[in-house]
């Protein structure tokens, strides 16, 4: 069975060409548009969309966007995702800052101007409203998302382990689709 040697759909927009590190994985059904940068060993999985057509979008080293994630930005609200971040299936990350070693749960939404502090976990289905600032090591849950407590060391290690797992999965899927 033949496999595509090209990543998913990669499109320029507004004079900006996506910048994708040579070690990054972009699934055949993923889309990356415009002023978007994907860092080393990052992974953009099946059906995910990264749109840098209104402001810049950055995905840090060893971070992953799982299946059907949407990352977008607005004028004045670029989207920056740090290193070792996992964004779970179906999540929407829009015009915000996600610092390092964060897990955004499945189907969670993080809106313009929000800042998710280092080492935090946004629970599945949570909605982090515009302009919300989440301190480091926080567990955020609910609609609207509220800080529930500080993460334990064990929980933080699970967040880091998830990112490491996806670095491995990105490499495996690169080989599968090459």
2 located within any domain:
no
- 68 part of a folded domain: yes
Tokens 């507004």 correspond to 14
Is pLDDT of 147 > 70? yes
> Per the structure, how many domains does the chain have?
1
Q: Where residue 5 falls among pLDDT bands split at 50, 70, 90? A: very low
Q: How confident is the model at residue 6 (pLDDT cuts 50, 70, 90)?
A: low
Lookup result for tokens 């033949």: 2
Let me know if residue 28 belongs to a domain: yes
- Asked if residue 114 belongs to a domain, the reply is yes
4 belongs to a structural domain: no
Residue-wise pLDDT tens digits, 96-111: 999 999 999 999 999 9
Contacts of 81 (CB under 8 A, 6+ apart): 58, 59, 60, 63, 71, 87, 93, 98
Q: Evaluate whether residue 87 is within a structural domain.
A: yes
pTM attached to this predicted model? 0.95
Q: Is residue 1 part of a domain?
A: no
For 167, the domain range is 9-177
- How would residue 1 be classed by pLDDT, with cut points 50, 70 and 90? very low
Has residue 3 been placed in a domain? Answer: no
User: Residue 177: what are its φ and ψ, rounded to 5°?
Assistant: -100, 5
Tokens 């690169």 belong to: 174
Going by C-alpha positions, the residue among 164, 160, 96, 100 that lies closest to residue 126 is 96
Residue with tokens 């060893």: 62
pLDDT at 4: 38
Average pLDDT (73-88) is 98
Residue 156 maps to which CATH number?
2.160.10.10
Helix, strand, coil % in the chain, rounded to nearest 5: 15, 40, 50
Query: Tell me: the pLDDT tens digits for 12-25?
Result: 999 999 999 999 99
Please state, rounded to an integer, the average pLDDT across all residues of the chain: 96
What tokens were used for 145? Answer: 């998302």
């Amino acid at each position: 069975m033949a496999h595509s040697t090209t990543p998913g759909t990669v499109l320029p927009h507004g004079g900006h060409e996506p910048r994708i590190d040579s070690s990054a994985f972009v699934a055949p059904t993923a889309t990356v548009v415009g002023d978007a940068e994907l860092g080393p060993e990052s992974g953009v999985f099946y059906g995910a969309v990264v749109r840098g057509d209104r402001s810049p979008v950055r995905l840090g080293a060893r971070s992953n966007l799982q299946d059907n994630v949407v990352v977008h930005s607005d004028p004045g609200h670029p989207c920056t995702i740090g290193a070792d971040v996992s964004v779970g299936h179906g999540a929407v990350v829009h015009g915000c800052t996600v610092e390092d070693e964060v897990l955004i749960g499945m189907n969670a939404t993080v809106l313009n101007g929000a800042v998710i502090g280092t080492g935090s976990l946004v629970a599945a289905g949570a909605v982090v409203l515009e302009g919300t600032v989440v301190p480091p090591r926080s567990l955020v849950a609910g609609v609207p998302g509220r800080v529930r407590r500080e993460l334990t060391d064990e929980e933080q290690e699970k967040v880091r382990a998830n990112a490491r797992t996806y670095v491995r999965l990105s490499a495996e899927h690169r080989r599968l689709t090459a």
